[in-house]
Amino acid sequence: MDSTTAERRYRAFLAAAQLRFPWQFRTRGQSDDQEGVQVDVPPGWYGVLERLFHDVEAVMPAAEREGFRWRRLCARHAMLEVAFDGLRDPVSPRVVEARERAAVTCDVCGHPGARREVAGRYAVSCTRHFIQRLLQCHPEGESGARLWWGTPQPVLGGRSPAAYMEADPPTETLIEQALRLAMPPVPRLDAPNRERLQAAWPVLDEALGERLRSLRVAAFDPRSGRGGTLIAMLAGDADPSAQAAAVTRLARNGFSDLRLRLVGQSDLASPAAAADPWACMLALEASIDIPRATPDQSVLVR
C-alpha cells in the first residue's frame, strides 16, 4: 500500500468512526487541555478500534455520554495506548480487551499475529507480514530480497520461497530461512570492548541467578552509536518477568546502550516457534560469546 492510499484509508476510517459515534469524539470548549483526539494506529488495528467504539457505545449510559471523549488512541512499541475522559467503570474493561486484541492482531492486515522484534523494532505481525519485515533487512536490499524470494532452494524442497509460501500456512522452515537472511553481521570485539562487556556478567548473575548459562553479544558496533544486543542464555525457558529487573540493573551499571534479550536454551531447537525468534536466531547465527572474566594472570606468565 503506497502512502497516499494509506492516508486515504486512515481518513476514511476516522471519518466513519466520527460519523457513527459522534459523542465519543466531541471536543468541548476551547481551553488548552481540550485538543483534538489523537489517533495514530496502523491499518491492521482499525477493526480493533471499531469494535472498541461499538462496545463503549453499548455499555455507556446515555446520561454519561456528555462527559466522555477519547483523548488518545495510539500504537506505541507495537502496543495499543488508550486515554479517555469520562466514566471509567464501564469503559476500562473494554479498553483492556481492545489492548489484548491488538496484541494478537497483525497491524498490517488484521489477521492473527504476535508481537515480534525485527532489528530492534517491534510490531504485531502475522506470519506473512513477519516474513515481509524480515525481507526488508536483506543485506542486498529490495532487489536481493526479490531475487531470494523467486529462487528455488534445496532446504525448501527445491521450491522458491514464493512457491513455498503458497502452502498455507507458511511453515517454520521458511520463517527460519528469512530470519537467517536478515541477521546482522557477527560482531568483532576488540580487547577494551570485550573487557567492558565482561563486566555485565556479575550484574546479570545477580539479576538472573544460576539459570544464566552464557552471554552473547550481537549487532554490536560502538562506532555506529547504536549500541548492541546483549543475549542472556538461560537454562530451560526464558522467563519474561526476569527481564525488567535485569534491564534496570544493567542501566544502573552503565550498560544502558545495550538491549537485553533473554533466550531459553530450549528455544534454540526451533527459533521460528520461539517467543522471540529474532533474539533466538541472533544467538544461533549472528552473535559471539562473552566469556566470564578470568583473573588476570599476565603477571604470572612472564
Radius of gyration of the chain measured on its C-alpha atoms:
24
d(CA 177, CA 138): 11
Please, are residues 246 and 204 in contact by the beta-carbon 8 Å criterion? yes
Strand, coil or helix: 124:
strand
Grid coordinates representing 136 are 526488508
**Which residues of this chain interact with Zn ion, rule CB under 5 A?**
106, 108-109, 111, 126, 129
**Shortest distance in whole angstroms from residue 16 CB to Zn ion:** 22
Q: Which of 111, 99, 93 is nearest to 73 (CA)?
A: 99
Q: How far is the CB of 5 from Zn ion (least distance, A)?
A: 17
Distances (CA, A) of 108 to 16, 145, 176, 240, 267: 19, 20, 21, 26, 27
Residue 146 C-alpha cell reads as 526479490
Minimum distance, C-beta of residue 171 to Zn ion, in the bound complex (Å) = 17
By C-beta, is 109 or 137 nearer to Zn ion? 109
Residue 112: DSSP 8-state: B
Residue 242 CB, nearest approach to Zn ion (Å): 30
165 or 212: CB nearest Zn ion: 165
Minimum CB–partner distance for residue 77 and Zn ion (Å)? 18
Angle CA 249–250–253, to nearest 5: 90
Largest CA distance in the chain: 86
Identify which of residues 105 and 287 has a Cβ nearer to Zn ion in the complex: 105
> By C-beta, is 80 or 207 nearer to Zn ion?
80
In the bound complex, what is the minimum distance in angstroms from residue 123's beta carbon to Zn ion?
10
| C-beta closer to Zn ion: residue 130 or 164 | 130
Instruction: Determine contact, residues 9/41, Cβ cutoff 8 Å.
Output: no
| Residue nearer to Zn ion on the CB measure, 102 or 286 | 102
